[in-house]
Amino acid sequence: MISFAGGLPNPRLFPVEEIADATEKVMAREGSAALQYATTEGFLPLREYIAARYRERKGLAVSAENILITNGSQQGFDLLGKLFLDPGDGLVMESPAYHGAIQAFGVYQPRFETVPLLDDGIDVDLLERVCESPGLKMIYTVTNFQNPSGLSYSAPKRQRVAEIASQYGLVLVEDDPYGELRFRGEQLPTMRSYTDGAVLLGTFSKTVAPGLRLGWVCADREVIEQLSYAKQATDFHSSGFAQRVLYQYLMDNDIDAHIAALTAAYKEQADRMLSAMDAHFPPGVRHTIPDGGMFIFVTLPSGLSALQLFKQAAREKVAFVPGQAFHPFGKGGDDSLRLSYSTLDGDAIEEGIRRLAAVMEREMSAAGSGV
């Protein structure tokens, strides 16, 4: 089976030895502290490191007080839901949207409002129209190489969405798990550059390793304090052991060099997938062109169903995620699918796309012949 379905970072690129070395140091120097209960907000040097990186790379005026360590970004969604969302509160999601966020926020029973994601970010005209509806509370966005679409917001659109959120008094959440994995084009500002109120989520899952389960929320100090209360009630704190090991790893290694190696590998895999798609996909099948991250999104010609395609593709031993997963309540998206290139080598990607193209062609000719 060639699976384009996973959303996993490439395990061959994990810094296994470096994490082992970091653990050895931590246990030798501060083993008891690493194994004891810790502060809810997170390991202070790690929070300072994250804030400093934002100051240097993004020009954000933030310090450790603006950072809460979480169990990946996913826990950030849960805490934001706990803090901000009551049943029936309006929550704007992109269409398609990241399914982990749909799932996490869904627990708090918001009223989902979906706004199409265009090639340069969310459709701001429709967003403004939705913002006129009563009871709207939050906008959730993924601005860089979104999961599932691979699409990114342009700089003007980031600014415009930040302005709209401020104007309507909405909580603006910018989820940025992939921002560091840019392999084309220039780094763009975060929404927090345009509005201090924006809540910015990050994670070490894509740049270091998901198994540490460490991410963060960057927000105003008052919001961080409230989220920390919620975090305390939820699980006291994230693993102090994992936090100190991660911090030691970051101190002892050149993270930028490591990220450069990651993005070089992902670029090669993405480009291989893009050229295979262009060579083999039937006319009428469209796909996005990501500037980073791990995903390419495919839109099928009318009449083709991604779920139907999924079943046929499984027989040819190739897998993907049908688009319905990226819509609240699974409503919509059957003309689309997500492909990940992150864990496969070039030849597997080529072969998988060939198989998928063949299945598409069969389905299209069946649909065309009215069968």
Any residues with CB less than 8 A from the CB of 300 and at least 6 apart, and which?
A: 284, 285, 306, 309, 335, 336, 337, 360
Structure tokens at 254: 């050149």
* Residue 73 vs residues 153, 224, 299, 309: alpha-carbon distances, Å: 19, 14, 28, 31
3-class SS of residue 75: helix
Closest CA to 74 of 285, 217, 279: 217
Q: How far is the CB of 80 from a second copy (least distance, A)?
A: 12
What is the C-alpha to C-alpha distance for residues 240 and 106, in angstroms, rounded to an integer? 29
Q: How far is the CB of 70 from a second copy (least distance, A)?
A: 8
Q: How far is the CB of 329 from a second copy (least distance, A)?
A: 14
Closer of 35 and 255 to a second copy (Cβ): 35
Q: How far is the CB of 38 from a second copy (least distance, A)?
A: 7
Cβ–Cβ < 8 Å for 216, 42: yes
Q: How far is the CB of 46 from a second copy (least distance, A)?
A: 14
Closer of 239 and 299 to a second copy (Cβ): 239
What is the C-alpha to C-alpha distance for residues 258 and 16, in angstroms, rounded to an integer? 12
Angle at 239 between CA 236 and CA 240, to 5 degrees: 100
Q: How far is the CB of 339 from a second copy (least distance, A)?
A: 18
Omega within 30 of 0 (cis) for the link into 45: no
Residue ranges that bind a second copy, judged by CB under 8 A: 8-9, 11-12, 14, 16-17, 19-20, 23-24, 27-28, 31-38, 70-72, 74-75, 78, 82, 100, 103-104, 106-107, 205, 209-213, 230, 232-242, 245
Give the count of beta carbons closer than 10 Å to the beta carbon of residue 313: 26
Closer of 266 and 281 to a second copy (Cβ): 266
Q: How far is the CB of 235 from a second copy (least distance, A)?
A: 4
Closer of 192 and 231 to a second copy (Cβ): 231
Omega within 30 of 0 (cis) for the link into 148: yes
Closer of 166 and 234 to a second copy (Cβ): 234
Closer of 6 and 189 to a second copy (Cβ): 6
Closer of 70 and 190 to a second copy (Cβ): 70
